[in-house]
Structure 1
């Protein structure tokens, strides 16, 4: 009976020793085998591992990319406009041995210690990079380049910690509450000044266009008047030349035509009565049938009835 008990106890002891010497690392972890606090082995690949029971122990570290949100940080860019910045980082343990040496702890406590060290580095990088540019750059699309600079600087400073900084992003970059109203007023004043400048430039351009249009109109009118005067003068000259040629052939007819034109102008409408001397030259072609007949024949006009009142008849 005692032999059976001893055998069973031996089997159980061997099973316990076997189980105590085996450890498992999955794909999300890395493991360190420690012996009296000293690192004896590093297990980075997933699978089974072996250790000395009761003498060696295994500590696990997360091998995934971890996130870290920083607290609101106030930075001062080059233009002295303070900004409240919230950022977050993505990081992972790149060298588990160095990470344990720098943090001095194991497991979750090591992660917490590493995050505290990383926050200090990130805040320093945020102040240095954002303090070297204007606030407008931080608030514009150029912020992507700034975040890359912060990531690279933090990555360089955390290599000794066994940490790899994968990415850094700025979630929010706003003005402090006490500076918002002042900033809004300054922005409003700048926009109003820009609007005034634009309106002034627009009015200046409008005046230039109006002046050019007025000058062009004057030039066009002057050229048109000049051309009109030239054409009218040439037409009048041609008319006079035609009249001179025609009337030069028969001076008597020309005198008769001029008299008829004078009669037509004088005896027009209600003005059909003239007070004039009977022997006036104006009646040269009204005195005598031969003149009246020749006038009617040449001009082809109807006889004009005219009442002539002499001073004696009045």
Structure 2
């Protein structure tokens, strides 16, 4: 009897805890939430904090309120010059209008990113189609991204309830079939430039060698001319010295000349000479004073 009386309050407490547990919910600062009543939104954009709902009647759907990144697959676009390129891009977005976001996407981020990717793809196609290759690669890329972001927000804010923070191009490449021909053309151009540089280098080397050879001939000729001049001056000076010496002492001059002739004549013992003993050649060998008989 007493045990039955204790069970009833206990069941009441457990039931109350269960109801409270199913009624209370917390919205984090990084989340956005809506309250549904039988699938219909009855309370939108619930603020962060502790809140309550009616169990079984109300359903709470929470969404990430942070800035999210949508990384798109590379797409093929044409410039105003009809040049194809592969563009790899990404977009930064966040939920702006929770009821619109839930209604248009069912609260599924994958659905939201798929719908956003379609519009980003269309916007990039339009932006690239109005510009040249140089403009989209370097000249006007920042301007292109700003215009694209503004045009996207005009569409996605009212229709999807999201805000595009930024759109950026990570990489721009030529299509594979075009890249091969471009690389081949670049290789051919570089080889042609290399041949031109080598030809110019060989031409310059030939000119330098010819100039060096010419200077060599000039220097050698000038050196030979100067040496001959010096040799001539030396011979003339020597002749003058000999002449002066001969005029001062003709006998001594004849004596030294005879000694030089004897040295040169008898230096090679293998020579045979046929000379008249009475000739003037032996005058100083017969008489030290060189007197003729």
Q: What TM bracket, shorter-length normalisation?
A: 0.5 to 0.7
1:197 CA drift (Å)? 1.4
2:45 aligns with 42
SS of the aligned residue for 2:223 comes to helix
Rounded Cα–Cα distance in structure 1 between residues aligned with 2:82 and 2:107: 43
Rounded Cα–Cα distance in structure 2 between residues aligned with 1:217 and 1:226: 14
Could you say what the CA RMSD is over the residues aligned between the two structures, in angstroms? 4.8
1:260 CA drift (Å)? 6.3
> 1:1-314 maps to which residues of 2 (within 5 A)?
16=19, 22-32=24-34, 41-43=44-46, 45=48, 47-50=49-52, 58-76=60-78, 82-85=84-87, 87-93=88-94, 95-97=96-98, 100=101, 104-108=104-108, 112-122=111-121, 124-125=123-124, 128-129=127-128, 132-134=132-134, 146=141, 151-160=145-154, 161=157, 162-166=162-166, 168-170=168-170, 173-177=173-177, 179-255=178-254, 257-258=256-257, 270=271, 272-273=273-274, 283-286=279-282, 292-294=286-288
What is the TM-score normalised by the length of structure 2? 0.65
**Are the aligned partners of 2:67 and 2:92 in contact in 1 as well (CA < 8 Å)?**
yes
88-97 vs 254-263, greater mean Cα deviation:
254-263
1:303 aligns with none
Tell me: CA distance 1:79–1:56, structure 2 relative to 1, closer, same or farther (3 Å). same
**Are the aligned partners of 2:95 and 2:101 in contact in 1 as well (CA < 8 Å)?**
no
Count of aligned positions: 271
What is the TM-score normalised by the length of structure 1? 0.62
Tell me: CA distance 1:67–1:238, structure 2 relative to 1, closer, same or farther (3 Å). same
Unaligned 5+ segments in structure 2 are 1-7
SS of the aligned residue for 2:133 comes to coil
